[in-house]
Structure 1
Amino acid sequence: MDISATQEELEAGRGYEALFVPALFAHWADHVAGRAAVDDGAHVLDIACGSGVLARQALARSGPSGRVVGIDLAPGMIAAAKEVEPNVKWVLGSAEALPFDADTFDCVVSQFGMMFFQDRGKAASEMYRVTKPDGTLAIAIWNSIDQNPAYRDIVSVLDEQVSTAAGDAVRVPFCLGNPNEVADILSQAGFDGIAFETRVEQARFPSSRTMVEVELRGWLPLFDINLSEEKIADVLIKSDARLSKYSAPSGEAVFPTSAYIMTAHKPR
């Protein structure tokens, strides 16, 4: 599949790498790679790889004798990932139709992607198919929004100042907060040894307004919710009352995020 991206798509991928990866995602990559037992020489697949933070962690662990592949549906993410780390093989494609042979990878990983899969059962079956016998799966999934109070506050701002549809858009990443639901999907796909652990990591954005602005400018348009500059400015001002409590003395917004890492095993 052609991985060429438009300039706009590439800039979006670069922006994601520059802002979201250090603010929100970087800490989780080591946890996921560790739970997947990625070690020297491992062949690893990162599904819904985004701009590649988890794949890069897998590359560091697997070393020169390993092989790491990252796959994502977004051409801009793949293009940005390739700019950052050319030693990973970057592939454009979907979790539901992985373009790899059966029994290819020692470790299959995914970080905050499963909630966006169109057919989670099919994606789990594909994960199982490409994992080698005795191989491991590790996926990170956000806990419910009630366990992520900063995002619960952002949703409240959007519900009040934009629309319920806007708030619902930000609820989507937290829709798989019940680990038992994911465990059932993986079990039906054939995995065994399914377990999970909950972890908390600190997110760090440049400011509390940035927390909201990235949703207004980057996330809501994906749901065809486009706001005028005047409306964006108004929402940001009104967000201060609810979100300023996350402001550190440095001016940054610092807050806890809660997710679980689920692991599973493909029988021999």
Structure 2
Amino acid sequence: MASDRAGGVQSLERAFDLLERMADAGGEVGLSELSASSGLPLPTIHRLMRTLVDCGYVRQQPNRRYALGPRLIRLGESSARLLGTWARPYLAELVEATGETANMALLDGDEVVYVAQVPSRHSMRMFTEVGRRVLPHSTGVGKALLAHVPPEEVRALLARTGMPAATERTIVDPDAFLAELEHIRAQGYAVDDNEQEVGVRCLAVTVPDSPTAAAISISGPAGRVTEAATEKIVPVLQGVARQLSTALASNGTP
């Protein structure tokens, strides 16, 4: 971090850095931990944290550790909506190229939340809709996202949420699911094959270097999203994901 920046700007930069470090640490840390990871002196961290507490972005726990505060929820929800808005032109490109419904989803805690959708021209109602939250183990986007999470963290997530079966094809065994994630990492995309909804197949890839873990997908009838169609659709999905990644890296300007 540059030491010659104006005091106000530097303080703001340091405050955001501390919030990100807290998020990386699971949302709750002590001042000494923040000092060790950031290299900032304890008095500076204490001053910044008091300001963040006063603003509601951080709260102090009874054990004197600090946790992310509730005002961040509002910012996160607004950011998710904005990310979905930026993604829509790219999802529309997917629909044009594949003829199937395109979605974007984020990993939010233990759940997947859909933040954008462009429907297919074909009339077919599917369970996905903007704002819907689902467990990740039975969705293409969820599997694509969890494929990039360390296995021990995936096991912990599955232990918290359970693995309820949405259909008879849903993977409900943690070992089998981890093997599926290894396969996804190797092939570069995830498949939901009648696992969330009977008769529907979904293909999904992550958005590289997204500021928050994100994936895009196409969903359609199993009779159209066949193995042969998959070979043609996946490169399109991956190309659009790279385009979206580039747009997000340039501050979201499509």
Establish whether TM, by shorter chain, passes 0.5. no
Q: Which protein has the larger Cα radius of gyration, Structure 1 or Structure 2?
A: 2
Q: Which has the higher strand share?
A: 1
TM-score range, shorter chain: 0.3 to 0.5
